[in-house]
Amino acid sequence: MTLPNLIPPALAQWLTANGIHAPTPPQLVEGAIAGSLALVALAIGWLAGRKLGPLLTAFWERRVGNHVEGLAPRMHNVVRHGSAALLLAMIANAWPWTTLAAMLLGIALGAATAMTVMTVMRGLHMPRWSAWAVSAIVFVAILSHALGGFNVITDTLDRIGVDVGSRRLSLLAAVTVLVTAVALYAGARLVNRVIAHSIREARGFDATQKLLIQKLASIAVIVVVFLFGIDLLGIDLTSLAVFSGAMGLAVGFGLQKTVGNLIAGIILLMDRSIKPGDVIVVGDSFGWVNKIGVRAVSVITRDGKEHLIPNENLMTQEVENWSFSDRNVRVRIPVGIAYESDVKLAQKLMLDAALESPRVLDSPRPNVWLTSFGDYALEHEILAWISDPEGGVGNVKSDVLNRLWVKFQEHGIEIPFPQQVLHFRSSKGDRIGSVAGVRSDAPVGGLEDAP
């Protein structure tokens, strides 16, 4: 079979005139075989995604949970494209394929690998532009490598640039840095989330210890990724000696607050004086600790406002921790009754109102104290205990007082109001009258001519 029998003569003549050699029959057969194998690999990948995808999704959700929630629904696509890419890579390297067959396998392998990268990066909630950029670069690199033109592309990209000292800043270096940075960031993000889930599922540690281990593990991962990236890009650390010295001065002066807050946060987690869930009072901020971050502690108030208090403030200022060693908190509720009231009955009603409140504990038992003989009332104080201070104390007082008001109304217990007497005297000191309401022993001016 000759070339004119396979393609039109005019096309064959044009290809020959332009130095393009049309594929021979053996090359076409080899291309057909390579294309068939590529279709088989893609079909096996599709089948693996359907069969193994749900199983791997369930395993991922069980082992990682919601820390990498974006990957779980995409796990079948990861298995599908990843399996196909693995099979295509084995096929491409199993035989010295000719140009046509290598091109077909390169297109299939590049597309499968690029789709795997795209799915993983989108599952990690990476920006869309970065996922598309890295996937496109991976596709071009694999296809050019399959055709034997990878060195041509790298040489072309390297020629587009300038020399700065002993280093060359080129388009190839920019692409390499971009791909390396995005890949390392995605890997660090995945590793951090997997480690976070593993630590949370670990037994034998309380919440504070788990949070501390998680923070230290995150810092360790960032340091390892940074050093690995420096080594991967071939950056000589000795050339950064001057820069590192200047950076040390910057940390010593400009970033001392940031570093201080970081160290203070680690100390808070280590000594467990403040833990997530504790109810604290710092200055005018009252609420429960939501989380202890690298820079600040998040405190949520009863109004739903979130206060970010620097870690250093919690180390240097006085802090009230209502749940440091015991979550039970005593609430004081002042109550006044009239002198004419039945004191014993009123105290019993106060105790009953406290016991009926749902948040008040039965043990320790509430108590009622007579605190003082006031100017116009017998001053009492209801002492009630609660175990959930993060729910607030004002609502407990309101609930007890509302119940007590109904009981006082039913039993005729009066709650007095201030009453004072105002005496009017003439300029000669003779008393000429009195008015109930305000009491004053001092002469009232402007009444010299009172009748």
Judgement on whether residues 301 and 345 belong to the same structural domain of the protein: no
Higher pLDDT, 175 or 251: 175
Higher pLDDT, 14 or 79: 79
Which of residues 277, 293, 321 is at a domain's end?
321
Across 148-152, 187-191, 326-330, 398-402, least confident range: 148-152
How many other CB atoms are there within 10 angstroms of residue 127's CB atom?
11
Judgement on whether residues 155 and 276 belong to the same structural domain of the protein: no
List, for residues 404-427, the tens digit of each pLDDT value. 999 999 998 888 877 666 767 766
- On the question of pLDDT at 445 being above 70, the answer is no
Distance separating alpha carbons of residues 379 and 337, to the nearest angstrom: 7
Residue 125 contacts residue 104 (beta carbons within 8 Å)? no
Across 55-69, 132-146, 199-213, 225-239, least confident range: 55-69
Across 74-83, 225-234, 247-256, least confident range: 247-256
Judgement on whether residues 72 and 174 belong to the same structural domain of the protein: yes
pTM above 0.75, yes or no: no
With CA atoms as reference, report the closest residue to 321 among 270, 280, 267.
Answer: 280
Band of residue 309 on the pLDDT scale cut at 50, 70, 90:
confident
Judgement on whether residues 133 and 271 belong to the same structural domain of the protein: no
pLDDT given for residue 2 in this prediction? 43
Among the ranges 292-301, 323-332, 381-390, which has the highest mean pLDDT value? 381-390
Q: Kindly state whether residue 309 falls inside one of the protein's structural domains.
A: yes
Judgement on whether residues 83 and 183 belong to the same structural domain of the protein: yes
List, for residues 378-389, the tens digit of each pLDDT value. 999 999 998 887
List, for residues 117-127, the tens digit of each pLDDT value. 888 888 777 88
Band of residue 444 on the pLDDT scale cut at 50, 70, 90:
very low
Distance separating alpha carbons of residues 87 and 92, to the nearest angstrom: 9
Q: Kindly state whether residue 252 falls inside one of the protein's structural domains.
A: no
Distance separating alpha carbons of residues 147 and 109, to the nearest angstrom: 12
Distance separating alpha carbons of residues 401 and 112, to the nearest angstrom: 70
Q: Kindly state whether residue 181 falls inside one of the protein's structural domains.
A: yes
Residue 277 contacts residue 323 (beta carbons within 8 Å)? yes
Q: Kindly state whether residue 13 falls inside one of the protein's structural domains.
A: no
Judgement on whether residues 310 and 170 belong to the same structural domain of the protein: no
pLDDT given for residue 266 in this prediction? 77
Judgement on whether residues 311 and 166 belong to the same structural domain of the protein: no
The chain-wide mean pLDDT, for the chain, equals 77
Judgement on whether residues 50 and 158 belong to the same structural domain of the protein: yes
What is the number of domains present in the chain?
Answer: 4
Q: Is the peptide bond before 364 cis (omega within 30 degrees of 0)?
A: yes
Which of residues 299, 321, 343 is at a domain's end?
321
Q: In CATH, what number is assigned to the domain containing residue 335?
A: 3.30.70.100
Q: Which of helix, strand or coil describes residue 385?
A: strand
Distance separating alpha carbons of residues 389 and 302, to the nearest angstrom: 10
Across 226-230, 231-235, 238-242, least confident range: 238-242
pLDDT given for residue 403 in this prediction? 92
Q: Kindly state whether residue 378 falls inside one of the protein's structural domains.
A: yes
Which residues are registered as beta bridge partners of 372?
379
Q: Which of helix, strand or coil describes residue 320?
A: strand
**Two tokens at 255?**
């970033």
- On the question of pLDDT at 334 being above 90, the answer is yes
pLDDT given for residue 53 in this prediction? 78
Beta-carbon contacts of 251 under 8 Å, excluding residues fewer than 6 positions away, are 259
Q: Kindly state whether residue 146 falls inside one of the protein's structural domains.
A: yes
Judgement on whether residues 72 and 149 belong to the same structural domain of the protein: yes
Q: Kindly state whether residue 211 falls inside one of the protein's structural domains.
A: no
Judgement on whether residues 348 and 269 belong to the same structural domain of the protein: no
Judgement on whether residues 67 and 127 belong to the same structural domain of the protein: yes
Distance separating alpha carbons of residues 222 and 224, to the nearest angstrom: 6
Which of residues 174, 199, 224 is at a domain's end?
199
Judgement on whether residues 34 and 177 belong to the same structural domain of the protein: yes
Q: Kindly state whether residue 216 falls inside one of the protein's structural domains.
A: no
List, for residues 9-58, the tens digit of each pLDDT value. 665 565 566 555 666 777 778 888 888 888 998 899 888 888 887 887 77
Q: In CATH, what number is assigned to the domain containing residue 267?
A: 2.30.30.60
**Two tokens at 16?**
């020959």
Give me the percent of the chain exceeding a pLDDT of 90: 11
pLDDT given for residue 7 in this prediction? 55
Mean pLDDT score, 250-255: 64
pLDDT given for residue 125 in this prediction? 78
- Full residue range of the structural domain in which residue 269 is found: 260-321
